[in-house]
Copies of this chain bind each other. A is one copy, B any other.
């Protein structure tokens, strides 16, 4: 049986970045950029003032405070007309272009208007403690020059990057689109969440859970409903699901008499890659690939039907696959934490246990939660991580180190 690490390798080698598409910048949040982006402007586009104040020639203040004729006022968005000469100043607002001739800006807080004196906009007395050439000026193109590459292919587009794209005039970019993922629950025992289950039946909790998990992983997820454990119904719904980049089934992959999923998938042309992984819960997980010509492939996951098995299978294998399809790194962040109390492990498979990670005295402390088994979804409500216990029969003491993977 494959180890989790081996299974993940096989999934990732079957999963490749989707083909880039043109995407409106406003819809690109969280996507991976698939082109280099160059600026079509200098930023700033002109030498500009970074404060409200007076643009002057610094040498005029070399001997201390002095008075100036105010020639005009420029605000952001204006184009200055006056030329600053010795003894003259231009009143300038934050972001406005520096007038010709000026080489520094004195902040308004260091100025005093002189009443009723001078031509044009009056006279001002400037008394900064110190003036240096270039002060309070942001020079043209220091942030970026026209033609500069400002974003490289592979970069994740966050709020900052969307701002930068706007600054360089890009309202559309080439990016890796969100993978489309379809979820199909299987099982004669399942009824939709809106129904009251008759005796022997339970509600389908996996589909809403897996759709939401796929959304948190960055996929566009759709729900294909519930397939009965019969060849015909399975075939029809699977065929629909394989228009997606990822098809996730739950149930029907164990050794039971109605566990038809692997056989139906194979008969529909999915190439089986593995079945069963050395892990607990989630052992009977099936994975295969359906190729549609050279361009498109559907990754097909058959997750076990128990909610916890399904969830753990998603976290360990489907989430990384979605990341890889999206052009992002598929590796989960793992860290280590100290056990809050004793823990006994039994069994020949590594166990992924719902657990609560918290800080105590600045140190991460993990408490495995008391689970009733892989049918028990309720315990997971309190979990914020998976604690990973290696295979074997052993007992751990409080304070022992355990690997943990945070849940999103």
Residues of A within 8 A of B (CB): 25-26, 29, 40-41, 43-46, 48, 50, 52, 73, 75-79, 91, 93-97, 108, 138, 142-144, 150-151, 155, 158-171, 187-190, 193-197, 199-213, 215-216, 229, 254-259, 305-307, 311, 372-381, 383, 407-408
State in angstroms the CA–CA spacing of A196 and B377 once bound together.
55
Max chain B Cβ within 10 angstroms of own Cβ: one of A44, A160, A189? A160
User: Is B372 within 8 A of A143, CB to CB?
Assistant: yes
- How many copies of this protein are present in the complex? 2
Contact status B159-A210, CB under 8 Å: yes
Once the chains bind, are A256 and B75 in contact (CB under 8 Å)?
yes
B212 touches A162 (CB 8 A): yes
Cβ–Cβ contact A381 & B155, under 8 A = yes
Q: B216 and A193: CB pair below 8 A? A: no
B202:A167 contact, CB within 8 angstroms? yes
Contact assessment for B150 and A381 in the assembled complex, using a CB-CB cutoff below 8 Å? yes
Chain B residues with Cβ below 8 Å from A142 are: 372, 376
**Docked pose: A64 CA to B109 CA in angstroms:** 96
Nearest B residue to A217 by beta-carbon distance? B159
Partner of A381, one of B97, B161, B373: B161
Q: Are A29 and B215 in contact (CB under 8 A)?
A: yes
With A160-B311, A162-B209, A408-B158 known as contacts, the answer to whether A77 contacts B201 (CB < 8 A) is yes
Among B164, B170, B208, the residue within 8 A (CB) of A377 is B164
A77 touches B187 (CB 8 A): yes
Assembled-state Cα–Cα distance A94/B187 (Å): 11
Q: Besides the contacts A41-B203, A159-B210, what 11 more A-B pairs have beta carbons closer than 8 Å? A: A29-B215, A43-B376, A46-B200, A77-B189, A93-B258, A95-B375, A108-B255, A144-B378, A161-B381, A163-B209, A167-B377
**Nearest chain B CB to A121 CB, angstrom units:** 11
23 A-B contacts, Cβ less than 8 Å apart?
A: A29-B215, A41-B203, A43-B375, A50-B306, A50-B374, A52-B256, A75-B257, A76-B258, A77-B190, A94-B254, A94-B256, A143-B375, A158-B407, A160-B209, A160-B377, A160-B380, A160-B381, A162-B208, A163-B209, A163-B307, A167-B307, A168-B203, A169-B193
Partner of A76, one of B41, B91, B189, B307: B189
Q: Which of B29, B160, B206 is within 8 Å of A163, CB to CB?
A: B206
Q: How far does the alpha carbon of A203 sit from the alpha carbon of B201 in the complex, in Å?
A: 59
Taking a contact as CB atoms closer than 8 A, the residue among B160, B170, B171, B204 that contacts A166 in the complex is B204
A256 touches B50 (CB 8 A): no
Bound together, the chains give a CA A168 to CA B380 distance in angstroms of 15
**Distance of A58 Cα from B143 Cα, bound (Å):** 78
Is the beta-carbon distance between A193 and B25 smaller than 8 angstroms?
yes
C-alpha spacing A204/B164, complex, angstroms: 10
Residues of chain B within 8 A (CB-CB) of A375 are 43-44, 48, 50, 95, 138, 143
Give A114 to B394 CA distance when docked, in angstroms: 38
| B257/A143 in contact, CB under 8 A | no
Chain B CB within 10 A, most for which of A52, A203, A229, A255 = A203
Identity of the chain B residue whose Cβ is nearest the Cβ of A201 in the assembled complex:
B77
Residues of B within 8 A of A96 (CB): 189, 200
CA distance A202 to B150 in the complex (A): 17
> Known contacts A75-B188, A254-B52: does B201 contact A381 (CB below 8 Å)?
no
- Measured CA separation A390–B157 after assembly (Å): 30
Chain B residues lying within 8 Å of A41, measured Cβ to Cβ, are 197, 202-203
Q: Which residues of B contact A29 (CB under 8 A)?
A: 212, 215-216
